[in-house]
Amino acid sequence: EAAKTSKILDNYCTILGLSPNHSNSLLCFEYGKGSIAVDNCNISNIDRQKTEAYTNVTLSPMRFVHVQSQVFTLVEYLTEGVLGAIAKSLASSATQAAIEMNQIETVGEKVFIIKASGFDFVLPQAAYTPDHFFLHVGNMAVRFKALPTPGEGVADVVLDDVIMKCNREESIIENPIRMMIDVK
């Protein structure tokens, strides 16, 4: 969050947070491994006989404000100094673990699901003016299924109720966008 003494409008001070009027946590995370966990999960459209593990992430309605100076300051903080060295080490370890995990032949499928509703992206013309571009994604669903053979998987992405407008509530697109992408 930006300092209250800066020229940034109060509406733009928080880079990432819950959408206004929402008091949930930013995300809910569920992970299960093994036949008992898979049999008792409440995920639809999975083959419970073939699935060995699942991850289910639900993101609460969020608001992201892109004020370039704030974002650059955050990026510099994350990439420089001690924190940058730690982040680089973690990223390298995570990348290596992902490569190794992808090369291991598994017995069953692994299902990864990410759901989000109400993601708002605000791009101010300047940090001190109320003029801004607004992008709203009503619903997003990502489903990835890692198959037992290394390197194989299936993904589905659905974006629904995507609208764009300016701060004067003038729509930039006539009808909301709905997009479905399947990758096999």
pLDDT more than 90, % of the chain: 26
Confidence of residue 69 (pLDDT cuts 50, 70, 90): confident
* The Cα angle at residue 162 between residues 62 and 20, in degrees rounded to 5: 25
DSSP structure string for 57-88: EEEPPEEEE--HHHHHHHHHHHHSHHHHHHHH
Q: How confident is the model at residue 36 (pLDDT cuts 50, 70, 90)?
A: very high
Q: Higher model confidence: residue 83 or residue 11?
A: 11
CA distance 166 to 160: 19
Q: Determine the pLDDT at residue 148.
A: 81
Measured CA to CA, the distance from residue 72 to residue 107 in angstroms comes to 44
CB 1 within 8 A of CB 66: no
| pLDDT on residue 99 | 65
* CA 145, 146, 152, 157 torsion-angle sign: positive
Whether the predicted pLDDT of 18 surpasses 60: yes
Q: Give per-residue pLDDT as tens, 119-161.
A: 888 888 888 888 888 888 999 999 999 888 877 889 999 999 9
What is the rounded average pLDDT for all residues in the chain? 82
pLDDT for position 1: 58
Q: What are phi and psi of 143, to 5 degrees?
A: -130, 120
How far the first Cα of the chain sits from its last, in Å, is 41
